[in-house]
Structure 1
């Protein structure tokens, strides 16, 4: 290291220490500046690593030949042969983040018309607003949770679907209410 660069580094370290002293934070040693969480400097907030996504193939397969739960007025085809599990696109559910799809428990059964031609359309350009999409998805997700509750206890459903529905409900913290709760 040249003398000029060493002096520059020392001056930066002094300025950093003065700045941290003013705000009451301890200055990390210079040799630890590049060994923080996720490779960033110690004491500097860095992005939290992505959580492991919740995936369940049986939950997605369950959507085949089921009724559409999106039920977008004027758009829904009500065709069960096109029904798929449509994932949430909202950041609160982990959807549409960089390279990240929402967890499978944040999906709803949707026909091709509601899913492709409405939910996955860009906002604006005579399409639905973000608020409209979020409202329709959340209403559909409430119906989806109710459907999973029925499936989880229905002996006529395949066992793998019953287990998948129970896992999704547990992941959502939406398991069946106790029998003593009235009318739920």
Structure 2
């Protein structure tokens, strides 16, 4: 229990003698080890992969799941695959190569919706991907030619 009422002066017993670092001193060994509390930086996606998702801009919805109220162009976003074979994992998005343009409603149905079974979701996404790949290849070739 601390009974002092006046603030401690510099050089007092509770002042830190060394600056705070992102390493922890181990008394058992004579060395420093990385702190387990150091924050890890989020890995950035490579720029070469981003061109695949940027190709989805201005495109119509390719998923076209029945029951959607509309497929507005304003809500079209890149919809990534949910398959492990395309690099999807727990907390990990699939590679940008495996994305198709889809409206917000269809994207929700593919990712979290309850209208479709897992097989139906995969079938809709695979069908959209087979239709999107040739269109994307032409679009990327035109972009490369214009540079």
> TM-score by structure 1 length?
0.49
Runs of 5+ consecutive residues of structure 2 not aligned to the other structure: 1-44
Per the alignment, residue 123 of structure 2 pairs with 135
Secondary structure of the equivalent of 1:105? coil
Per the alignment, residue 87 of structure 2 pairs with 94
Q: State how 1:60-75 maps to structure 2 within 5 Å.
A: 60-75=53-68
Per the alignment, residue 39 of structure 1 pairs with none
The alpha-carbon deviation at position 78 of structure 1 amounts to 2.1
The structure showing larger relative contact order (alpha-carbon pairs under 8 Å, at least 6 residues apart) is 2
- Structure number with higher helix proportion: 1
CA distance, structure 1, for counterparts of residue 141 and residue 50 of structure 2: 19
Q: For 1:115, which of 87, 93, 107 is the aligned residue? A: 107
Q: Please, what is the CA RMSD of the aligned residues?
A: 2.5
The alpha-carbon deviation at position 105 of structure 1 amounts to 0.6
- Structure number with higher strand proportion: 2
> TM-score by structure 2 length?
0.60
Q: Residues 99, 137 of structure 1: CA spacing in aligned structure 2 closer, same or farther, 3 A cutoff?
A: same
Runs (4 or more) in structure 1 with deviation over 6 Å come to none
The alpha-carbon deviation at position 141 of structure 1 amounts to 0.4
Paired residues, number: 102
